[in-house]
Homo-oligomer: A and B are copies of this chain.
Amino acid sequence: MQVMDALGDPVRRRLVELLADGERSAGQLATAVGAEFGISQPAASRHLRVLREAGVVDSVPQGAVRLYSVRPEAVDEVEAWARRVRRFWDGHLDALETEIARGARMRRRHDDD
């Protein structure tokens, strides 16, 4: 999953979080993460490129500015992955499970869900 690969970086995650509030220009984003992480405009620009190439964000030239936005499908992918891993706890524990596994899980589980 290209998406999660790209999101394995604090700066890039922050960029996506900023975009969660709506579209922002590359400049606004660069300023924001620049301030928070102390990185330069080119550095921010390259993070945006990574996100773009991973399909996490979209960008549209708007005059002299370039507007970035999050691609909903990307967020869905992340959520779907988490859910896929999570399915385990949501009941349906068929075959494969060993007694030991079950026992340990019982020992561990008394919260969540």
Count of residues in A whose CB is under 8 Å from the partner chain: 52
**CA of A73 to CA of B113 in the docked complex: distance in angstroms?**
10
Query: Is the pair B20, A84 in contact by a Cβ cutoff of 8 Å?
Result: yes
Query: Is the pair A79, B72 in contact by a Cβ cutoff of 8 Å?
Result: no
A21 contacts B by Cβ under 8 Å: yes
Supposing A5-B8, A8-B5 touch, asked if A105 and B16 sit within 8 A by C-beta, the answer is no
Residues on B with C-beta less than 8 A from A104 are: 23, 60, 62, 67, 69
Residues on B with C-beta less than 8 A from A16 are: 85
A22 contacts B by Cβ under 8 Å: yes
Residues on B with C-beta less than 8 A from A22 are: 88, 93, 96-98, 101-102, 105
